[in-house]
């Protein structure tokens, strides 16, 4: 009772009451539209973007907001520096989890998605972000996905011209075909036979459409895909890892299906080159380079012995032409059919069936050497020798030409194969030993090329050259003699764009005579229809097969009943939907102009905002989203729709926040629990305990008993009257009972404390564990700051002139914090604030001239408390519109420097020396000093090193 009364009186006398303060200013910011931004040509722009979240059912845990807090600090900082800051947020709200949930519960994904978004919003709002919510986008909303569909149609209507190195309209391609056929067209394309203008003109609509399909950037083709039966769905390469789906971890099979794909591979070189012009971490760029997988090499044609047939292989080791002892085809290669002889037909058939049964996962994990001889031989164009052509699954159909020349001496995979099937091995590097393993390194001097004593078959000798020289010489020879060509290969494949799923963007496509046609642009968006059953249809079609209104009336340009599809006036619509990455590929452009119903983004808005200056998000999108959106952006750039060809200038990956789990130790077979330091005296088993009922590793025993029924009668073996828990750093997850909810932290300590603590934990980019135990430190800091303003319950700020000491404290903080924000070292900035407030408290400084700039400096980090104090000292406009203070060097200069004096590198004492002294004066002062004489012991120093302002080292 007494305590309550005291509390009331105290808060009346202005204690730091974060709950009231934070609520009050959050409302003020809404009421005053503080965070609304518009194009303003009088101010420089700055665009700060967070990777928008997929709103999952679990809500945010304390790890999620880290990146948002960092971007918010930087946004607020830039605004105080005079920039017009675009800082939007939205939701990546199409995707698998909501649909899986729908299948399990019958709950429509739209409903769960809406609920999850509301929950996310509620949680984010409590943290005090400076988002302009009027610009919110949701990928599942029709006025947004209209532009996803529109972009897809543009990709359908364009092809990739290798001469222009850019996307060009299909209409242009048709003109070329009409005039000269396709012989001179250089395009990123699927395999297409040559044809003349006459042939082209003679073909009917369908045949022409089929040809054009080979050139389109969004194209429909039979593709070898990753199919996940458990998800009932095809997945892109980045959605599969080691033969398992990234989401769910279900097995993935390879099969051929007719699918939409995006010709991302056409952009491979530009995606690679672009990396050199953007400010991303080296590791992320490296990941992208790996994923793009550029390799320079040569394609060489091999004739088949006793046949007119020939085929092409790709190699990066052209220097090893003279060591080829066999050839290998991928089992899926078309060549297998052509090159298998009658005698080998059965054996080959058996082998193909056997490999087909093996899943990709088996092929990866269990690398046994398998293969079969095709019966044919190939003629090495450099030696004239005939070498056997084998078939093996260690060669991939999708890379290069699906066929290789095997050089067992210098390739470990070929080596394993040769050993297994007892094929010859010819070493080509002087002095290399290939009796036990192959010599794969690209170094050494080439020999045996050609072998001594053998009559040369061609006029090329590589003997005596280095590997590097030999590769170059061979490439030159291949080109000159027209044996093949120099070729660059990329690992990056086209992105499969169809998903046999409901909860995604519908394709704005209908089918006439089995060929796809785009529904007219003015009819977009094609809205996702309602369905009641989210599973595939009985005949194996995607869930959209259940839709009642899923036909297209071509003449009336309108939706029609599925039942009325007659393939004359009413045609079937595409049943697949787009994948998750579709909606996230251009959302950063839409934020620039989110309500425009005429264009994805207006020229005016795009000219002003350009591209994202700072992008913050997790590293898990390194090969998916960050490749696709760069591709998407470059495509739109080719069409002259946007002005920048790289979407994200600077990118920072925030580190993962791990969980800190707590354990209790149960004596095996009992309901008795032993405190941490006594556990070794018993046979115990560690059990995860909810971290929210543990404080500083001390278990709240009552809460533990109430946590779960099985612990109601738990007994304890205590130490010093307490139960101490063990701990471990693990992923933050429900099952480990280590999830900490930001709402709880905000409730207990306030949003400003949460914000400060999240970034105080350590460097932004580093993974680090969340440990609520440390949070008191930053909370205390805010209370101390509050205490500078209020003494004895009254506002104590004066207009007195600050002392030099106080100004020094302020200005060194301004200097450090400014530098730290610019270099995204927020944790050290918080530390600088703490030092500053500690010093000001020591100095009993309550002077406006010091405290006001400090508030502005701190406001990006702790916007609520600073806004409150800002108004308390008499300001009437938001602190968001203040000016960021600039430090003045004159307050920082020292008249005396404390020099560490070291002998042979070991510091022995310090000496105060005037800052104006030069090297010689310092040296003399130090050498004359009594303490120095003690350490020199009468010896004459060999050398004295004086670094002005830093250190003195005396070498004896």
Partner RNA sequence: GCGGCAUUGGCGUAAUUGGUAGCCGCGCUAGACUUAGGAUCUAGUGACGAAAGUCGUGUAGGUUCGAGUCCUACAUGCCGCACCA
Bridge partners (DSSP) of residue 19 are none
**Shortest Å distance, C-beta 658 to RNA:** 10
Q: How far is the CB of 53 from RNA (least distance, A)?
A: 19
Give the rounded distance of the alpha carbon of 616 from its chain centre: 9
CB of residue 728 vs RNA: minimum separation in angstroms? 11
Residue 208 burial (10 A CB sphere; 0-12, 13-18, 19+) = middle
Beta carbon nearer to RNA, 444 or 762: 762
Identify which of residues 208 and 767 has a Cβ nearer to RNA in the complex. Answer: 767
Q: Considering beta carbons, is residue 255 or 947 the nearer one to RNA? A: 947
Tell me how far apart the alpha carbons of residues 264 and 338 are, in angstroms, rounded to a whole number: 31
Tokens representing 719 are: 């130490």
| Alpha-carbon span 409 to 426, nearest angstrom | 6
Q: How far is the CB of 367 from RNA (least distance, A)?
A: 5
- The maximal CA–CA distance of the chain, rounded, in angstroms, is 110
| Residue indicated by tokens 């200069």 | 893
667 vs 728, beta carbon nearer RNA: 728
Our CB check for RNA shows the closer of 91 and 704 to be: 704
When the beta carbons of 34 and 623 are compared against RNA, the nearer one is 623
Q: In this structure, what DSSP letter does residue 112 have?
A: H
Q: d(Cα 424, Cα 422) in Å, to the nearest integer?
A: 7
Rounded to a whole number of angstroms, the minimum distance from the CB of residue 955 to RNA is 5
Task: For residue 518, give the 3-state DSSP assignment.
Answer: strand
The token duo for 640 is 């002259």
Looking at the Cβ atoms of 437 and 513, the one nearer to RNA is 437
Q: Minimum distance from CB of 293 to RNA (Å)?
A: 5
Reference 77, options 871, 761, 889, 883; nearest CA is 883
Nearest to residue 66, comparing CAs of 749, 866, 826? 826
Host H or E run for residue 674: strand 672-674
Mapped onto helix, strand or coil, the DSSP state of residue 687 is strand
State which residue, 573 or 725, has the beta carbon closest to RNA: 725
Q: Measured from the CB of residue 739, what is the shortest distance to RNA in angstroms?
A: 18
CB-nearer residue toward RNA: 121 or 812: 812
- Shortest distance (Å) from residue 640 CB to RNA: 33
| Pairing verdict, β 684-689 and 672-674 | unpaired
List of E strands, 694-763: 694-695, 698-699, 715-717, 726-730
What is the C-alpha to C-alpha distance for residues 350 and 365, in angstroms, rounded to an integer? 22
Rounded to whole angstroms, the Cα distance separating 510 from 576 reads 11
Q: C-beta of 363: minimal distance to RNA in Å?
A: 4
* Cβ closest to RNA, residue 129 vs residue 628: 628
For the CA atoms of the chain, what is the radius of gyration? 35
Q: Closest CB to RNA among 295 and 466?
A: 295
Q: How many Å apart are CA 200 and CA 689, to the nearest integer?
A: 72
Q: Is 166 helix (H, G, I), strand (E, B) or coil?
A: strand
What six digits make up the tokens of 490? 């990329």
Q: How many Å apart are CA 880 and CA 895, to the nearest integer?
A: 37
CA–CA gap between residue 672 and residue 665 (Å, rounded): 8
Of the candidates 774, 731, 733, the residue with the CA atom closest to the CA atom of residue 756: 774
In the bound state with RNA, the residue whose beta carbon lies nearer, of 316 and 843, is: 316
* Residue placing its CB nearer to RNA in the complex, 204 or 720: 720
Cα–Cα distance between 28 and 861 in angstroms, integer?
Answer: 18
Alpha-carbon span 137 to 437, nearest angstrom: 57
- DSSP class of 249: -
Helix locations, 826-951, DSSP H: 826-842, 848-858, 863-872, 919-928, 930-936
* C-beta of 116 vs 658, nearer to RNA: 658
E-state strands within 348-432: 372-379, 386-391, 403-406
Q: Tokens at residue 222, please?
A: 């039979």
Least separation in angstroms between CB 904 and RNA: 6
Q: How far is the CB of 707 from RNA (least distance, A)?
A: 15
Residue 714 CB, nearest approach to RNA (Å): 18
As to burial, measured by CB atoms within 10 angstroms (0-12 exposed, 13-18 middle, 19+ buried), residue 530 is exposed
CB atoms within 10 A of CB 105: 10
Q: Which is nearer to RNA, 608 or 887 (CB)?
A: 887
Residue 698 CB, nearest approach to RNA (Å): 8
Q: Using CA atoms, how far apart are residues 296 and 487, in angstroms rounded to an integer?
A: 6
3-state secondary structure 31-70: HCCCCCCCCCCCCCEEEEEECCCCCCCCCCCCCCHHHHHH
Angle between helices 826-842 and 804-822 (to 10 degrees): 170
Q: Which of 280, 273, 277, 320 is nearest to 300 (CA)?
A: 320
* Nearer to RNA among residue 100 and residue 316 (C-beta): 316
Q: Is 289:275 a contact under the CB 8 Å cutoff?
A: yes
Q: Please confirm whether the linkage preceding 815 is cis (ω < 30° from 0).
A: no
Closest to RNA by CB, 518 or 834:
834
Least distance (Å) between residue 439 CB and RNA: 13
Q: Minimal distance in Å, beta carbon 509 to RNA?
A: 30
636 or 952: whose CB is closer to RNA? 952
């Amino acid at each position: 009772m007494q305590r309550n009364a005291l509390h009331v009186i105290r808060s009346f006398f202005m204690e730091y009451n974060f709950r009231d303060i934070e609520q009050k200013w959050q409302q003020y910011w809404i009421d005053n539209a503080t965070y609304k931004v518009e194009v303003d040509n009088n101010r420089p722009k700055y665009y700060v973007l967070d990777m928008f979240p997929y709103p999952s059912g679990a809500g945010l845990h304390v790890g999620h907001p880290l990146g948002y807090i960092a971007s918010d600090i930087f946004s607020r900082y830039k605004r105080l520096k005079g920039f017009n800051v675009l800082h939007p947020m939205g939701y990546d709200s199409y995707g698998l989890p909501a649909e899986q949930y729908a299948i399990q519960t019958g709950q429509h994904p739209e409903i769960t998605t809406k609920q999850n978004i509301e929950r996310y919003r509620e949680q984010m709002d409590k943290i005090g972000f400076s988002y302009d919510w009027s610009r919110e986008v949701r990928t599942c909303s029709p006025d947004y996905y209209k532009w996803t569909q529109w972009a897809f149609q543009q990709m359908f209507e364009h092809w990739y011209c290798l001469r222009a190195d850019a996307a060009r309209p299909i209409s242009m391609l048709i003109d070329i075909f009409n005039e000269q056929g396709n012989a001179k067209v250089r395009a990123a394309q699927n395999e297409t036979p040559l044809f003349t203008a006459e042939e082209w003109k003679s073909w009917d609509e369908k045949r022409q459409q089929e040809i054009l399909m080979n050139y389109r950037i969004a194209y429909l083709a039979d593709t070898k895909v990753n199919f996940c039966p458990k998800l009932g769905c095809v997945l892109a390469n980045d959605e599969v890892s080691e033969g398992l789906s990234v989401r769910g971890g279900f097995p993935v099979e390879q099969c051929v299906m007719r699918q939409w794909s995006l010709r991302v591979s056409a952009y491979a070189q530009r995606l690679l080159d672009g990396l050199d012009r953007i400010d991303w971490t080296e590791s992320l760029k490296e990941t992208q380079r790996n994923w793009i997988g550029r390799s320079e090499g040569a394609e060489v044609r091999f004739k088949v012995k006793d046949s007119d047939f020939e085929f092409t292989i790709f190699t990066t080791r052209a220097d090893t032409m003279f060591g080829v002892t066999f050839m290998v085809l991928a089992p899926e290669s078309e060549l297998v059919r052509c090159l298998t002889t009658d005698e080998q037909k059965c054996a080959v058939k058996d082998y193909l069936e056997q490999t087909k049964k093996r899943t990709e996962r088996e092929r990866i994990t269990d690398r046994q050497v398998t293969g079969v001889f095709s019966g044919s031989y190939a003629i090495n164009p450099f030696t004239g020798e005939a070498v056997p052509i084998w078939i093996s699954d260690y060669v991939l159909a999708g890379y290069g030409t699906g066929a290789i020349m095997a050089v067992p001496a210098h390739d470990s995979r070929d080596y394993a194969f040769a050993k297994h099937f007892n094929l010859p091995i010819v070493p080509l590097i002087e002095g290399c030993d290939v009796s036990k393993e192959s010599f794969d390194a690209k170094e050494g001097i080439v020999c045996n090329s050609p072998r001594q004593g053998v009559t040369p078959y061609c006029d090329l000798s590589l003997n005596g050259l280095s590997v590097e020289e030999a590769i170059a010489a061979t490439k030159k020879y291949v080109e000159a003699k027209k044996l093949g060509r120099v070729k660059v290969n990329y690992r990056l494949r086209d992105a499969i764009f169809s998903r046999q799923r409901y909860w995604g963007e519908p394709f704005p496509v209908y089918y006439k005579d089995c060929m796809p046609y785009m529904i007219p642009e003015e009819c977009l968006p094609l809205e996702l229809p309602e369905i009641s059953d989210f599973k595939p249809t009985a005949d194996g079609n995607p869930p959209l097969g259940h839709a009642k209104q899923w036909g297209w009336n071509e003449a009336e340009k309108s939706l029609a009943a599925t039942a009325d599809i007659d393939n004359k006036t009413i045609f079937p619509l595409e049943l697949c939907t787009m994948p998750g990455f579709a909606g996230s590929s251009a959302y950063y452009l839409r934020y620039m102009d989110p309500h425009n119903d005429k264009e994805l983004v207006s020229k005016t808005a795009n000219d002003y905002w350009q591209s994202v200056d700072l992008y913050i998000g997790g590293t898990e999108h390194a090969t998916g989203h960050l490749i696709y959106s760069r591709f998407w952006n470059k495509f739109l750039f080719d069409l002259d729709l946007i002005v920048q060809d790289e979407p994200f200038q600077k990118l920072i990956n925030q580190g993962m926040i791990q969980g800190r789990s707590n354990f209790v130790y149960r004596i095996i077979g009992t309901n008795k629990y032993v405190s941490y330091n006594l556990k070794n005296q018993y046979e115990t088993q560690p059990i995860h305990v909810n971290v929210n009922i543990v404080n500083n590793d001390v278990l709240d025993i009552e809460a533990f008993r109430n946590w779960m029924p099985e612990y109601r009668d738990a007994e304890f073996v205590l130490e010093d009257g307490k139960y101490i828990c063990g701990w471990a750093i693990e992923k933050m997850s429900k099952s480990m009972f280590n999830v900490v909810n930001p709402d709880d932290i905000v409730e207990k300590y306030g949003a400003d404390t949460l914000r400060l603590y999240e970034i105080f934990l350590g460097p932004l980019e580093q993974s680090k564990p969340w440990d609520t135990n440390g949070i008191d430190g930053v909370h205390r800091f805010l209370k101390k700051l509050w205490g500078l303003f209020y003494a004895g319950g009254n506002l104590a700020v004066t207009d007195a002139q600050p002392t030099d000491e106080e100004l020094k404290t302020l200005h060194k903080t301004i200097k450090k914090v400014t530098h730290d924000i610019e270099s995204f070292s927020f944790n050290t900035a918080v530390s600088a604030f703490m030092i500053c407030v500690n010093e000001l408290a020591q100095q009993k400084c309550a002077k406006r001239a010091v405290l006001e700039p400090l508030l502005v400096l701190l406001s990006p980090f702790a916007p609520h408390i600073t806004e409150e104090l800002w108004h308390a000292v008499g300001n009437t406009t938001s602190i968001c519109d203040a000016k960021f203070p600039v430090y003045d060097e004159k307050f920082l200069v020292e008249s005396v420097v404390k020099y560490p004096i070291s002998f042979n590198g070991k510091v022995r004492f310090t000496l105060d020396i005037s800052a104006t002294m030069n090297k010689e004066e310092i040296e003399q002062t130090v050498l004359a000093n009594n303490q120095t004489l003690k350490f020199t012991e009468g010896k004459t120093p060999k050398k004295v090193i004086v670094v002005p302002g830093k250190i003195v080292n005396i070498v004896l």
